[in-house]
Structure 1
Amino acid sequence: MRENDPDSCFIFLVGTKTDLLASDERQKTERDAVRIAAEMHAEFWAVSSKTGENVQAFFFRVAALAFENSITKDMEKGVPASIGNGDTIKSDRITLAEGTNHEVKRSCC
């Protein structure tokens, strides 16, 4: 972050093994993690590879931000944005269509 433009990368704070914590302890830990992530200008994600909780959603988020960043840079350079047949990408979570204007949420909560 000190050597690069702060907007040139995305920062994620990822808490793993969420399946190992009791509910009360998990809530407290996640509140602390969200606070720390906000101070870092990062997104916080709680995941569990054992249960699969939020793993796919987290990687979809990383891929979506990287893709959006790539398309935005191409459009700023005047390169036509083309995604494919019909210019639409679909996943089981969201649909990104060319020309859709949406804000990027910088924190999870």
Structure 2
Amino acid sequence: MRLSRSAVYTMLQTQAQKDRVIASLPPPFIRQASPHTHDDFHVEVRNAANGDHMLQAGLKISKMIVLGDVATGKTCLVNRFCHQVFDANYKATIGVDFEVERFDILGIPFNLQIWDTAGQERFKCIAASYYRGASAVMIVFDVTNIVTLAHTSQWLEEARQANADRLTPVVFLVGTKRDLMSEGAYDQIEKEARRVAQGLGAEYWAVSSKTGDNVEALFLRVASLTFDHSVMQELSSGSSDRRKQSTVKIGHRLEDTFEGHKKNKCASCGK
């Protein structure tokens, strides 16, 4: 995929919605269930946003992949945030679906690519070809189905294998369908989910796509931590082309983060 010059200009000129203008780091769902101990953006990131003209002139883009078992509510979660809708009629994702959401973070235009991947085994080969280049990984499980939680480590391992040559992405473990559980039943699930999240190095969240509870807060947190993590990596690299993959310069063309992959083709099976 390539973005033309006109597409880049359009992205730069598009204003983020007021609720997606972020000036401080949004809090985690549960502070004790997050591996990120800082309460705000790193000082280096704030300084770069205020004084790095190269950062200010470009359009930052990061990629997030949404993984998890079939019927865990991945698509409902993405649609609730991106389109403010909830459709109870389940339709399995074929391969991947793709959304781009615009934020302004510390005054910098930031676009989060959201890749909603298929959970069914027969589509896994297609979906896995899109894992590469992820700056953030969201692993989704159904709080009403403990088996889906048990499978989350496998999903993360597959994502890490696809990104073995890159720095570690930001990881989120998200329990969906919170509205379907009583407080007492959920408390037991949360205890186990937090244990799993700690083992994965992930930040834990529980949401309801039906009611919208915690969905917007989750994605604001995802965008902010991904931005913070991405800029810190770029600053630490110190190389002249450190923004080659995550920043678009006006007048240039962008190859997306899965460069080298042919659309809908899996290297392992050729389909």
Same fold per TM (> 0.5)? yes
Q: How does 1:80-91 map to 2 (within 5 A)?
A: none
Q: What is the match of residue 221 of structure 2?
A: 61
Larger CA Rg, structure 1 vs 2 = 2
**CA distance 1:69–1:57, change in 2 (3 Å):** same
- Structure 2: segments with no counterpart, 5+ residues: 1-159, 241-271
Equivalent residue in structure 1 for 2:206, among 38, 46, 49: 46
Tell me how far apart the structure 1 counterparts of residues 210 and 220 of structure 2 sit (CA, whole Å): 18
Q: What is the match of residue 172 of structure 2?
A: 12
Q: What is the match of residue 6 of structure 2?
A: none
Q: What is the match of residue 37 of structure 1?
A: 197
**CA distance 1:35–1:7, change in 2 (3 Å):** farther
Tell me how far apart the structure 2 counterparts of residues 6 and 18 of structure 1 sit (CA, whole Å): 33
Higher normalized strand content (fraction of residues): 2
2:184 corresponds to 1:24: yes
For the 8 Å contact 2:171–2:202, the answer to whether it is kept is yes
RMSD (Å), alpha carbons = 2.1
Q: What is the match of residue 100 of structure 1?
A: none
Tell me how far apart the structure 2 counterparts of residues 42 and 15 of structure 1 sit (CA, whole Å): 12
Q: What is the match of residue 71 of structure 1?
A: 231
Normalising by structure 1, report the TM-score: 0.63
Amino acid at match of 1:16: T
1:5-64 Cα shifts (integer Å, max 9, x gaps): 685201111100000001100111111100111111111110001111110111011100
Q: What is the match of residue 126 of structure 2?
A: none
Amino acid at match of 1:18: R
Q: Tell me the matched-pair count.
A: 79
Amino acid at match of 2:168: S
Classify the secondary structure of the residue corresponding to 1:12: strand
Tell me how far apart the structure 1 counterparts of residues 166 and 172 of structure 2 sit (CA, whole Å): 13
Q: What is the match of residue 4 of structure 2?
A: none
Amino acid at match of 2:201: H
Tell me how far apart the structure 2 counterparts of residues 32 and 54 of structure 1 sit (CA, whole Å): 20
Tell me how far apart the structure 2 counterparts of residues 73 and 44 of structure 1 sit (CA, whole Å): 23
**CA distance 1:71–1:52, change in 2 (3 Å):** same
Displacement of 1:71 in angstroms is: 2.1
Displacement of 1:70 in angstroms is: 2.5
